[in-house]
């Protein structure tokens, strides 16, 4: 997902889309870091989070993509970001 988001970020001329990809890449990098945590429960929680996240670049060329996925994806990205921030604040990352 990181590679796909990075490629799409680099190829878009739409500022809002570029910002969303930058945010998504940052969140995914934090989650990737959490996968290497020495805390087993953190790694498990991270895997569950990644397993339930939609990839914002899936079906992006579909005519219904924006109407179907945008609100859910933003909520999922926010939950993932909040999760990572909470871990960082408690010294788990």
Give φ, ψ of 63 to 5 degrees. -60, -25
**pLDDT band at 67; cut points 50, 70, 90:** low
- 8-state DSSP, 32: H
How confident is the model over 12-58, as pLDDT tens digits? 898 988 888 898 889 889 889 998 999 999 888 888 887 777 665 55
Q: Measured between alpha carbons, how far is 21 from 34 in angstroms, rounded to an integer? A: 20
Number of independent structural domains in the chain = 1
* Residue range of the domain that includes 66: 2-89
How confident is the model over 70-83, as pLDDT tens digits? 545 666 777 777 88
With beta carbons less than 8 A apart as the criterion, state whether 56 and 74 touch: no
Q: What is the pTM of this model?
A: 0.55
């Amino acid at each position: 997902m990181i590679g796909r988001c990075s490629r799409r970020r680099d190829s878009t001329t739409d500022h809002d889309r570029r910002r969303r990809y930058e945010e998504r890449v940052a969140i995914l990098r934090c989650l990737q870091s959490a996968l290497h945590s020495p805390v087993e429960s953190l790694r498990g929680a991270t895997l569950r989070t990644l397993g339930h996240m939609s990839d914002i670049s899936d079906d992006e060329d579909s005519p219904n993509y924006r109407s179907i996925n945008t609100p859910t994806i933003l909520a999922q990205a926010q939950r993932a970001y909040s999760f990572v921030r909470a871990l960082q604040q408690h010294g788990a990352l």
